[in-house]
Amino acid sequence: MLVLGVDPGSTVTGFGLVEQKSGKLIYRHDEQLKLPARADVGRKLALLYDQTAALLEEYQPEQVAFEGIFYGSNVKSMLVLGQARGAVMVAAARYGLEIFEYPPATVKQTVAGYGKAGKDQIEHMVKKLLKVEKVTGEHAADALAVAICHHHQNRLQGWRSR
């Protein structure tokens, strides 16, 4: 099963594709979309939607997994982040894909063994688990971590239902 992991952001969004075959995780692709700072919100959301749609079209993942929202004190930042997540979610929904969400601590616990792991620890473990030498950046590493987390959660669900 091929999963698109997404680390949505209002300035940079990470995408990572991880496939599971015969119980092994296989790296397929990662990238980061840096949104133009001076563009209006509508343009940024259109770019996010278009890039997500292009990835879905090219790779045809079976599921999409998102890192859940962390709660901050800046309401405006949270609103912009919600809009960015929405643009990516709409693209996934238009392709008929089910959307899964995982809290940041769950992603970190699954990938690094510690729910408060730092970005450098997550990137290190993603590279190790997927046997790759480099990823595009920290947002792409986070997106790959979300995809890895989703694969592990699916496996756990399978064990629980036996």
Helices 41-59 & 75-94, crossing angle to 10 degrees? 40
Number of H-type helices and E-type strands within the chain: 5, 5
* pLDDT score of 76: 74
**pLDDT 10s digits, 139-148:** 999 999 999 9
Q: What is the rounded CA–CA span in Å between residue 68 and residue 96?
A: 20
Q: How many domains does the chain have?
A: 1
Structural contact between residues 60 and 52, judged by C-beta atoms closer than 8 angstroms: no
Q: What is the rounded CA–CA span in Å between residue 140 and residue 119?
A: 11
- Mean predicted confidence (pLDDT) in 79-100: 92
Give the residue numbers spanning the domain of 18. Answer: 2-160
68: DSSP letter: P
Residue-level length of the chain: 162
> Pairing between strand 24-34 and 99-102?
unpaired
**pLDDT 10s digits, 35-83:** 998 989 899 999 999 999 999 999 999 999 998 876 666 777 778 788 8
Q: What is the rounded CA–CA span in Å between residue 13 and residue 34?
A: 7
- Mean predicted confidence (pLDDT) in 88-114: 95
Tokens 């209006």, residue located: 40
Query: What pTM value is reported for the model?
Result: 0.92
| Mean pLDDT for the chain overall | 91
CATH of the domain at 10: 3.30.420.10
